[in-house]
Structure 1
Amino acid sequence: MVVSAVLRHRPHPRRREIVSLFAAATCDVTAKTDAYFDSAAQTLGAALLLAAAKGERSMLDVHRWVRQPDDREPEDLLIAAGEDSASVDVESARTKTPKQRDGIYGSAENLLSWLRNPSLIPWITPDEGWVEFSPERCVRSTDTLHLLSTEGPGGLARVCPPRPRW
């Protein structure tokens, strides 16, 4: 999935929402959280998503960037797109003390840990002939969208609350 497909409309609020979904889906509900590193990781993740959207890059690029903190490509893409604030977010995380930087990037990598699953790659990588999902088209059609998820870490069960039973 090219990230721009996800963030085409209202990219600034959506990138934070998406990163929050990643955090909810990958975090064990019993795990201790760190207000500084978790928040900084979400800020970094949101900036990297915006860089990918503006540069027409994929989620695989975002995952590569969190594993290579010295890579300046996301900053360059953001600057070229006029997204100076997000560029500063990436630069700020990259230029922290080594201990802080490693904590921020490590936490951001945990948010994207689901990308380590090779069976997911075909689902998020564009293939020739595939039609991009359009929520606008879907709600105006007679198509049905089914959400499938597994329980536990890496699943989206905590992101999607159960339907009320009447």
Structure 2
Amino acid sequence: MPPPGTDLHRLMTRFPRAGTVDWIGLRPARDVPMREVDAVEAVAGAGLVGDRYGGGSGKRGVTLIQAEHLPAIAALAGHAAVAAATLRRNLVVSGIVLAALRGNRFRIGEVLLEGTDSCDPCSRMEAALGEGGYNAMRGMGGLCARILEGGTLRLGDRVEWVAA
């Protein structure tokens, strides 16, 4: 992040509006369908209760994907649409650019998170989306985030950048 007070810092910390959580899913185990939920408990330093990564190191405590990218991924993979569960991210978020949250703190409802890294697609996307599915998702795989302050994540929660 550029130093505070610079023009670039001002540009990188301005958002036209808050985002919204549109979908929540949990991966109970490897190679099983996602479980769609209306709310989930986020544990600081770990992950989401009921998700297979819930007890992990925390760098990938929550995975997010941009709702606006779902139609593009579907089109590039040759599908009319793609279900959020197919892409195996925990949260689908609309209205705010997730790439701008990488390396930054942000709040979803009562939960404070920090964007840690891009959530690149894995080889499983070939099976999920068909041949070329991995490349159809490249650059649009979303964001991994660490949970800094836990709480409950809910459908409809606001997603907002937070000054460090």
Q: Quick check: TM above 0.5?
A: no
Compute the TM-score of the two structures, normalised by the length of structure 2: 0.26
Compute the TM-score of the two structures, normalised by the length of structure 1: 0.26
* Structure number having the greater strand percentage: 2
Q: Which has the larger radius of gyration?
A: 1
